Amino acid sequence: MPDNATRPHDHAPSSPDDRRRAVERLHDRSGPLRDGYDVAMLDLDGVVYRGDDAIDHVSESLEAARAAGVRLAYVTNNAARTPDAVVAKLRGLGMPTEDDAVVTSAQAAGRLVAGLVEPRSRVLVVGGEGLQKAVEEHGLVPVASADDGPDAVVQGFSPDLRWAQLAEGAYAVARGIPWVASNTDGSIPTARGLAPGNGTLVAAIATATGGVPQVAGKPYAPLFDETVLRVGGSRPLVVGDRLDTDIEGANNVGADSLLVLTGVTDLDALMTAPPPSRPTYVAPDLRALALPHPPVDVEAEAARCGSHAVLVADGALLVDGAGLAADDHEAAVELLRAAVALAWHRRDEIAGESSRRLDLAAIRSALEPWGVR
């Protein structure tokens, strides 16, 4: 969802986790970024595809990462579709994927609710096919009515969800039984724009009952832990386009992250991100997996990364020196890293200055060939 949108955090508590961290500054890597990790946890919409179309350069970038020994895990908060359906879509778009490479918030929710009830317990499913199959996978019995005596409620997004299903969920939650939500994203992208997401539906039951669900999806830990259980790996890199789900989620579990600017997050949101929502790496797109990420030297008025520098003048971030060649992706990564590092430094270290006041027009213009907004 957009970084300035509202997600119902009031209804999405998470337990303390000693893996949680904040990111003060960008990390660097002298060789290809992909060489430092054994699994890439990839968000889908905004990273791999937009709607029904593959994002440019993604397929070849992921093929190269897999050839270099990186496992690919496609990790989504969307609980409506089954993993098999997502695998079919990815293959239709030419993406490299194994049969078991897709992990959904429904699967994480299924495991979470299974840990709260006895085996073969009845679980009221407020959602679609993906959530029902996830419940069945753990030996639980999905039911559709509060009158069926459920021992727990699990809720996830479905475009076909009706008021009657929400009402059944509310009747059951009001009895005080465990309630698990797949995710609490406030919106979902559609071909016509942003539409209400599962968070709005969770809020409806919370408002009716005063209940508070446990949440399985990003930015909380269960979905990341589910991915490790299913795909493996000990050195994950979380790749996403959203600060408040993908990147904040990576920080919640102490994982490194790459933010790509092919989806929701724009320059303004990235430059003003607080430490809990900051990525460890940034790039225009997934070609950055094959590139080094040089260190950034930062001072009060300027920052340099590789052969590219950015400075502050009259409240604006400016490119110091020649512009970028349209085919030089490594230069684009260096310029973006310098700009982000300088904006974060001024936000954190220059007393009283908000980086929201910085004019980013020059940086945006320089990075326009890479689709950066």
Fold of 23-105+219-289: Rossmann fold (3.40.50)
Helix (H, G, I), strand (E, B) or coil at 141: strand
CA distance 174 to 308: 58
The separation between CA 329 and the C-alpha centre of its own chain, rounded to angstroms, equals: 23
Q: What residues are labeled active site?
A: 43, 45
Rounded to two decimals, what is the model's pTM?
0.90
pLDDT tens per residue, range 61-93 = 999 999 999 999 999 998 888 999 999 999 999
pLDDT tens per residue, range 230-278 = 999 999 999 999 999 999 999 999 999 999 999 989 999 999 999 999 9
In the predicted model, is pLDDT for residue 143 greater than 80? yes
Q: Which residues touch 38 (CB under 8 Å, ≥6 apart)? A: 69, 70, 71, 233, 234, 235, 236
CA distance 59 to 79: 24
Fold of 118-210: Rossmann fold (3.40.50)
**What is the structure's pLDDT at 325?**
77
**Scanning the structure block, which residue is given the tokens 């699994």?**
39
Beta-strand ranges (E) seen in 200-300 are 214-215, 236-240, 256-260, 281-283, 296-298
pLDDT tens per residue, range 186-239 = 887 666 777 898 999 999 999 999 999 999 999 999 999 999 999 999 999 999
- Per the structure block, which two tokens stand in for 153? 């409620």
What is the DSSP secondary structure assignment for residue 293, as one 8-state letter? B
- Per the structure block, which two tokens stand in for 323? 């512009």
Print the SS3 string covering 221-248.
HHHHHHHHHHHCCCCEEEEECCHHHHHH
Domains 23-105+219-289 and 118-210 share a fold: yes
Extents of the domains making up the chain:
23-105+219-289, 118-210, 294-370
Kindly compute the dihedral angle of the four CA atoms of residues 35, 266, 184, 273, in this order, to the nearest 10 degrees: 80
List Cα–Cα distances, 274 to 38, 91, 248, 261, 353, in angstroms: 28, 36, 10, 17, 14
